[in-house]
């Protein structure tokens, strides 16, 4: 493989392109926004919509394999690409992770527990499901939610639920049980075309305003709980015949039991620490997998804390640059809007 196509030009695409470059592999990104983070490091960019048939044909022609950096690549686009070029992870992984209802059913089919859930297609569905859940739960749009957007939490049966279905856009939704988790963890794992699997150590994640704030490794979980996470990741990867890196998020209950929350068929924010605390980062691991190279050793050589730099946090960069054992990683974005991921730091400890 000499050239990899990447659909999507955000920071994940940028970091994939950097990893590819270090292995002597060229990258071509498909991204409608010309001044995107990945444009600064990829070898070439096709400036077009993700579902533009001509652009997709051009990408397929110029690359030996195509991957993606976000899970909302239109499934039809992935299918078009797959007719003329290898697409990894498999398009089926997109289909599953684009819809929270399909995703939760799939995860259960893999033998992995989730929060209880119910499909919601009307206010009447919501009223009935909330009744069954004791008036408490998390309502989410089935599609296109990220960073906690498109969600509404019902913390008590006394809460007013009138109009809640409309308020989330009257699109297909899902009601989940509100889980009183002890902590949140995630696992980053990779599967090669020959079925080999490599798992990084689970990270413990803290969210702020619905956005990932920190990932700490090791997570404060037992070996048995870590093993549950690894087995869950393996089950998902094998069932999808997956090639590439995946991120799976879990709620850890007080008894150590895990409930899977969601999966991302791509490199994941809670795996950014791997670039500082492992020899082979999740980005290189993904490039290796989709390029048909052997997977790298996922072993962690240091304990660490990754912290996202969101919006104004960018002002802390000079201080971070002066802090020993801290790796600063910026995405080349100029407009530090509130809630925007500008970069991250990883502190070795």
Residue numbers in the known binding site for ATP are: 100, 140, 145-151, 176-179, 184, 207, 261-262
Instruction: Give me the least distance between CB of 262 and Mg ion, in Å please.
Output: 5
- Which of Mg ion, ligand ATP, none does residue 176 bind (CB under 5 to 8 Å by kind)? ligand ATP
Question: Residues binding Mg ion: what is the number (CB under 5 A)?
Answer: 2
Which member of 138, 164, 240, 309 binds ligand ATP (CB under 6 A)?
Answer: 138
Task: Read off φ and ψ for residue 213, nearest 5 degrees.
Answer: -105, -60
- Which of ligand ATP, Mg ion, none does residue 332 bind (CB under 5 to 8 Å by kind)? none
With binding defined as CB under 6 A, does residue 262 bind ligand ATP? yes
Which member of 32, 74, 145, 292 binds ligand ATP (CB under 6 A)?
Answer: 145
With binding defined as CB under 6 A, does residue 179 bind ligand ATP? yes
With binding defined as CB under 6 A, does residue 71 bind ligand ATP? no
Q: Hey, which residues between 227 and 256 contact Mg ion (CB under 5 A)?
A: 249
Q: For residues 249 and 284, which CB has a smaller minimum distance to Mg ion in the complex?
A: 249
- Total Cβ atoms within 10 A of residue 61: 11
Q: Hey, which residues between 274 and 303 contact ligand ATP (CB under 6 A)?
A: none
With binding defined as CB under 6 A, does residue 182 bind ligand ATP? no
With binding defined as CB under 6 A, does residue 148 bind ligand ATP? yes
Cite the beta strand spans of the chain per DSSP E: 3-7, 26-30, 44-46, 65-68, 86-87, 117-120, 137-141, 151-154, 173-176, 183-191, 197-199, 203-208, 211-217, 244-252, 258-264, 304-310, 326-330, 341-348
- Which of ligand ATP, Mg ion, none does residue 178 bind (CB under 5 to 8 Å by kind)? ligand ATP
Token duo for residue 131: 């009744």
Binding site residue list: 100, 140, 145-151, 176-179, 184, 207, 261-262
Which member of 11, 80, 173, 261 binds ligand ATP (CB under 6 A)?
Answer: 261
How far is CA 204 from each of CA 54, 254, 263, 343, rounded to the nearest angstrom?
A: 42, 14, 15, 19
- Total Cβ atoms within 10 A of residue 279: 12
- Per CB under 6 A, the segment of 28-36, 76-84, 141-149, 299-307 that binds ligand ATP is 141-149
For 271-340, the three-class secondary structure string (H helix, E strand, C coil) is HCCHHHHECCCHHHHHHHHHCCCCCCCCCECCCEEEEEEEHHHHHHHHHHHCCCCEEEEECCCCCCCCCC
Place of tokens 């079925």: 195
Question: Residues binding ligand ATP: what is the number (CB under 6 A)?
Answer: 17
Token duo for residue 21: 């470059």
**Cα 336 to chain centroid, rounded:** 22
Binding site for Mg ion (CB under 5 A): 249, 262
């Amino acid at each position: 493989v000499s050239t990899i196509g990447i659909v999507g030009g955000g920071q994940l695409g940028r970091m994939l392109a950097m990893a590819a470059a270090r292995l002597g592999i060229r990258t071509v990104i498909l991204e409608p926004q010309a001044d995107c983070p990945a444009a600064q490091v990829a070898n070439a960019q096709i400036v077009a919509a993700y579902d533009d048939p001509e652009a997709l044909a051009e990408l397929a022609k110029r690359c030996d394999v195509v991957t993606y950096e976000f899970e909302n690549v239109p499934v039809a686009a992935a299918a078009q690409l797959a007719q003329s070029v290898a697409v990894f992870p498999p398009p089926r992984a997109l289909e599953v992770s684009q819809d929270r209802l399909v995703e939760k059913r799939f995860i259960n089919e893999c033998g992995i527990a989730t929060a209880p859930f119910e499909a919601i297609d009307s206010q009447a569905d919501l009223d009935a499901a909330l009744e069954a859940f004791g008036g408490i739960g998390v309502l989410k749009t089935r599609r296109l939610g990220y960073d906690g957007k498109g969600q509404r939490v019902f913390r008590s049966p006394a809460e007013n639920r009138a109009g809640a279905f409309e308020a989330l856009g009257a699109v297909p939704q899902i009601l989940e049980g509100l889980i009183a988790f002890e902590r949140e963890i995630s696992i980053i794992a990779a599967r090669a075309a020959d079925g080999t699997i490599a798992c990084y150590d689970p990270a413990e994640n803290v969210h702020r305003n619905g956005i990932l704030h920190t990932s700490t490794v090791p997570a404060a979980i037992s070996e048995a709980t870590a093993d549950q996470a690894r087995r869950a990741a393996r089950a998902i990867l094998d069932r999808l015949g997956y090639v590439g890196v995946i991120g799976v998020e879990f709620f850890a209950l007080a008894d150590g039991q895990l409930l899977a929350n969601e999966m991302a068929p791509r490199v994941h924010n809670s795996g950014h620490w791997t670039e500082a605390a492992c020899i082979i980062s999740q980005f290189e691991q993904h490039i290796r997998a989709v390029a048909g190279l052997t997977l790298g050793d996922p072993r962690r050589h240091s304990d660490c804390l990754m912290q996202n730099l969101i919006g104004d946090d960018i002002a802390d960069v000079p201080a971070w640059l002066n802090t020993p054992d801290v790796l600063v990683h910026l995405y080349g974005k100029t407009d530090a809007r509130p809630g925007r991921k500008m970069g991250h730091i990883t502190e070795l400890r």
